[in-house]
Structure 1
Amino acid sequence: MELSPRVASITPSSTLAITAKAKALKAEGHDVIGLGAGEPDFNTPGYIIEAASRSMEEGHTKYTPAGGMDALKKAISAKFLKDQKLTYDTSEIIVTSGAKHALALLFQTILQEGDEVIIPAPYWVSYPEQVKIAGGKPVIAEAEESNNFKLTPDRLKALITDKTKAFVLNSPSNPTGVMYSEDELKALGEICVEKDVLIVSDEIYEKLIYGNASHTSIAQVSGDLKGQTVIINGVSKSHSMTGWRIGYAAGNKNIIKAMSNLASHTTSNPAVMAQYGAVAAYEKDDGSVEQMRQAFEERLDKVYEKLTIIKGFTCVKPQGAFYLFPNVKQAVEQSGYKTTDEWVKGLLEKEKVAVVPGSGFGAPDNIRLSYATSLDQFEEALDRIRRFVEKG
């Protein structure tokens, strides 16, 4: 049977591919260090697990509304008010099976065949694929490394056409870890308001911020920008709940209602016990979120300098998330490999270190390393990488 052209055009996730290869080598008995995972290496806080377990014991094991429980929507609304001083009614919020699901529902809701979505590169691997699945056309906007991987207003404006429907913003960014300032957000946002382009603001890493940086949602900048923005977020990264699959979107109630209708005919509601866990995540704070953030910041400060002294490596220091995204072009050229992808395969085969090639993120000269792993493991991985580079 012939497959749908939309499905056939999907590019496999480079993150999952390298992780699978690393797991296979580890299963064979090799001492593999994996730096490809996009999830915290901490367990979900105990109070969240207890809340989910208690909900099942109390009989909360049936369907909820497709767009999520009202109790969780209220908890999310309270979170927005507390953290960003943003007011969202429960009718302006949908709970989804992970933030990825929220993005997929949104693109399928807003895009018609041939509509364009501007996506700054480097980008999270799923953005272009989700746009294509929804019948849209991803328009990749190169964000220069010399500008800390940030898209300029002039570049954004030059790419907008009469087919442009949305602009994807990810701050802090996966894979670069960079963040936009309030002034930078305002400059980009005003263009979107002027051109009536919907802003899709992926803020999943908002709690993982380091140094003197602070997170600003583009929806906070002005009332006009709030009305032009759909925020995507979830508890996966902030509360180490990746496997729980609870994300959400907040924005225009007509868009949210349409997304909920779509969810009702596809996935129905997110797992009810996970929703109860997410309610607890937002209604209680035992300090574990901050402890995890501090651990990531400590790792970053210790490994960043060690990474940048590797010959042929340069790296913009991240302000958030838990990734390093060094440019390794010189190291690859010096080693004799033709591409970074081939270099990454060689590193895994010879030194048993798994990193993710930047080609999947729209940056073929870079690699992504996740420091969501123990400091000892990461430093050992850097020693192996240095050895691999020096051997050529």
Structure 2
Amino acid sequence: MATKSKGNGAKEKSGLEALSPFELKDELIKAAGGGASARPANLAMLNAGRGNPNFLATIPRHGFWQLGLFAMRESERSFAYMPEGVGGFPQRDGIVERFDLFVRENKGQPGIRFLAGAVSYVRDQLGLSAGDFLYEMCEGILACNYPVPDRMLKLSEIIVGQYLRREMIGKHPFVGEFDVFAVEGGTAAMTYIFNTLRENFLIKAGDTIALGMPIFTPYIEIPELNDYRLNVVHLNATVENNWQYSKKELDKLRDPKVKAFFLVNPSNPPSVKIDDASLEYVAEIVKERPDLIILTDDVYGTFADNFVSLFALAPKNTILVYSYSKYFGATGWRLGAIATHRDNVLDRALAKLPKDEKKELHKRYESITTEPDKLKFIDRLVADSRTVALNHTAGLSTPQQVQMVLFSLFSLMDTPDAYKSALKRLIRHRKRALFEEMGVPYGEGDPNQVDYYTILDMEYMGEKRFGREFVDWLLKQVKPNELLFRLAEEARVVLLPGKGFGTPHPSGRVSLANLNESDYRKIGRAVRKLTEEYVQRYNEATGKNLDPAAVNK
């Protein structure tokens, strides 16, 4: 084992410690697969480093395929005299009646009941035309036309907006309307927002932004690129404070040098939502700093209890980013949304730019509108996503928008939150299994815990269980990534390094979404075995008599 430890240390010195955690994951996977022929056949690799869930929403997917069959019938009504397989666009007239016939003919098929209910919900609860909705969905799923409008299909934007209201705002008072831009997942949203902020002089090289730490790694890496070269202030949430920001940390936002504040809520990787008091505190700071730009990435909000986004409390200052990937098990669909209030700090900042910068932007956007100076920030996002010159072909593909709409309607129609409750129950059972096998308390009782991920904080957990002296000894003996490599090589368990997300202590991120409950028990046993080995080595080296199975009650 000492030989392995030295080997792992050499790996770290060779430059692996500089890798993004998502790149280091590949090295850990290699380590977990190394010498596989010498292992028992039933010892499979347990990759808890992926955030991709192993569950997905089936009902709206069934609805998607049934809608596709109906849309094909609609298409084949045209050019029926041609045997070469030529169809036409769906026809608006009579589409509701033909849909009702399709539903009756296919009664009992998976997805039909949901699809019929979705049309009824759109008509009766949202007050939209069932015919217009069906026509938009059929044309969209056939992908026979450009996305028009390019920001998002008209009724699709309304429906997705209603979903965001329910899941991100809830019962919190919200004044005004917001616009939605459908994008290729949360990663595209990040890319577009950073780029358009820069192109429109809202952030410039040398400007200062704040990051709520720990955070999804690209938020750390993008500001450092030559494209941006931003100064970064960290607002640190800590495990000692249950992963909440203290008022002292949030007060960093009062500095007028801080142009923007980017955060993930609930956090990644601690998977804890910001508590109500902190949200209110940020909202108070925004009142003092009406120029502050906020980006809140709330992809995990739908796993939380009673979630309220910062977008609800400070809507005019906040860009909302949401992705459908995790909650609906749809990472491959690449479905995301950006939302901005129609009265927002971004548009006000654009109006206040110096004349020379306005002149440059006028020229940038003059090919797509007769009034480029009045072009809203969110529509600049759309144009910039296609380098402006290709604005006429901008927009998320229409089948993707259709699936996004069906996911949204599935949630809106699920008034008892049965699907949400099932997912929360699933991942929380997995967390309990992991911690039980590690021999440490599960940590129930914090209403802000979301549990999509969990952080195994080596320093914090080690000190609570075995004391500071043991932790100091351990940190001198091993590098943090060495423990991850040992788990990979000896137990075929892959975790991501928490340091890569900006955690203050050496730690490992465990995704609770992508393996089965029995797998988390195996991971827990592997972590416990490794811990007990180091406690035993500590006892031998120091003459102490720590109990390797000690549990902090």
Residues 326-385 of structure 1: per-residue CA shift (max 9 Å, x gap): 211248753864321122112211221101111101124221111111000110111112
1:391 correspondence with 2:517 = no
Match of 1:239 in 2: 328
TM-aligned CA distance change 1:244 to 1:348, over 3 Å: same
Structure 1: which amino acid aligns with 2:211? I
Q: Which residue is equivalent to 1:218?
A: 310
Please, which of 263, 268, 274 is the counterpart of residue 394 of structure 2? 268
Q: Which residue of structure 2 lines up, in the alignment, with residue 68 of structure 1?
A: 152
CA contact under 8 A between 2:457 and 2:508: conserved in structure 1? yes
- Which residue is 1:281 aligned to? 407
Who is 2:286 aligned against? Answer: 192
User: Matched residues in 1 for 2:507 and 2:329: separation?
Assistant: 26
Write the distance in 2 (CA, Å) between the matches of 1:44 and 1:230: 27
Relative to 1, partners in 2 of residues 1:120 and 1:337: Cα closer, same or farther, differing over 3 Å?
Answer: farther
Instruction: Find the aligned partners of 2:50 and 2:262 in 1 and give their Cα distance.
Output: 23
1:379 and 2:379 correspond: no
Q: Could you tell me how far 1:277 is from its partner in structure 2?
A: 0.8
Kept in 2, the 8 Å contact 1:316–1:325? The answer is no
Q: Is the 8 A contact 1:316 1:326 kept in 2?
A: no
CA shift in 2, pair 1:122/1:47, >3 Å: same
Give the whole-Å Cα distance in 2 for the aligned partners of 1:154 and 1:280: 43
Who is 2:428 aligned against? 297
- Quote the offset at 1:324 in angstroms: 0.9
Pick which of 358-367 and 20-29 moved more: 20-29
Rounded to whole Å, the distance in 2 between the matches of 1:198 and 1:52 is: 41
SS of structure 2 residue aligned to 1:227: coil
After superposing the two structures, state which structure 1 stretch, 32-41 or 267-276, moved more. Answer: 267-276
Letter in 1 for 2:158: K
- Counterparts of residues 100-179 of structure 1 (less than 5 Å): 100-110=187-197, 111-133=203-225, 135=228, 136-158=230-252, 160-179=254-273
- Which amino acid in 2 is paired with 1:376? S
CA 1:314–1:252 in 2, change beyond 3 Å: closer, same or farther?
A: closer
> Are 1:47 and 2:47 an aligned pair?
no
Q: Which residue of 2 aligns with 1:207?
A: 302
- Offset, 1:142: 2.3
Distance 2:475 2:25 in 1: 21
Task: Give the Cα separation in 2 of the matches to 1:21 and 1:52.
Answer: 38
1:365 lines up with 2:506 in the alignment:
yes
Aligned in 2, Cα 1:355/1:376: closer, same or farther, shift over 3 Å? same
Closer/same/farther in 2, CA of residues 116 and 368 from structure 1, 3 Å limit: same
* Code of the aligned partner of 1:295: L
Matching residue of 2:130: none
Cα distance in structure 2, aligned partners of 1:93 and 1:38: 25
CA distance in 1, matches of 2:443, 2:323: 32
Native 8 Å contact 2:454 2:509 kept in 1:
yes
Q: Report the Cα offset of residue 89 of structure 1.
A: 4.4
1:27 shift after superposition? 8.7
Q: Alpha-carbon deviation of 1:62? A: 4.4
The 1:160/1:130 distance shift into structure 2, 3 A limit, reads farther
| AA at the equivalent of 2:248 | D
The one-letter code matched in structure 1 to 2:406 is A
Query: Which has the higher mean CA deviation after the structures are superposed, 269-278 or 18-27?
Result: 18-27
- Shift, 1:183, TM fit: 2.1
Equivalent in 11, 14, 25 of residue 18 of structure 1? 25
Decide whether aligned partners of structure 1 residues 78 and 158 sit closer, same or farther in structure 2, where only a CA change above 3 A counts: closer
Contact kept, 8 Å, 2:436 with 2:524, in 1: the verdict is no
How large is the RMSD of aligned CA atoms in angstroms?
Answer: 3.0
Is contact 1:324–1:370 with CA below 8 Å preserved after alignment? Answer: yes
Separation (CA, whole Å) in 1 of partners of 2:438 and 2:234: 28
**1:109 partner letter:** T
Give how far 1:294 is off: 2.1
Cα distance in 2 for partners of 1:126, 1:42 equals: 25
Whether contact under 8 Å (1:124, 1:174) holds in the other structure is: yes
The worse-fitting range, judged by mean Cα deviation, of 376-385 and 60-69 is 60-69
Using the TM superposition, name which of 367-376 and 163-172 deviates more. 163-172
Which residue of structure 2 lines up, in the alignment, with residue 183 of structure 1? 277
* Distance apart, 1:12 and its partner CA: 4.7
Match of 1:5 in 2: none
- Higher-Rg member (1/2): 2
Q: Which moved more, 1:80-89 or 1:318-327?
A: 80-89
Provide, for residues 278-333 of structure 1, a one-character-per-residue CA deviation record: whole Å limited to 9, x for no partner. 110011246444322221122233433444629xx999977114111121124875
Q: Which residue of 1 aligns with 2:5?
A: none
Structure 1 position 119, deviation (Å): 0.8
Q: Do 2:163 and 2:408's aligned partners in 1 also have CA atoms closer than 8 Å? A: yes
> Structure 2 CA distance, aligned partners of 1:349 and 1:256?
47
- Give, in angstroms, the shift of residue 50 of structure 1: 4.2
Cα distance in 1 for residues equivalent to 2:325 and 2:510 = 19
Query: Which residue matches 1:6?
Result: none
* Higher alpha-carbon deviation: 92-101 or 108-117: 108-117
Whole-Å separation in 2 of the counterparts to 1:236 and 1:263: 20
Separation in 2, partners of 1:132, 1:68: 31
- In the alignment, the residues of structure 2 paired with residue 50 and residue 314 of structure 1 have an alpha-carbon distance, to the nearest angstrom, of 39
Structure 1's 159 and 216: CA in aligned 2 closer, same or farther, altered over 3 A?
closer
Quick one: distance in 2 between partners of 1:67 and 1:138?
A: 31
Aligned CA distance change for structure 1 residues 23 and 145 (closer, same or farther; 3 Å): same
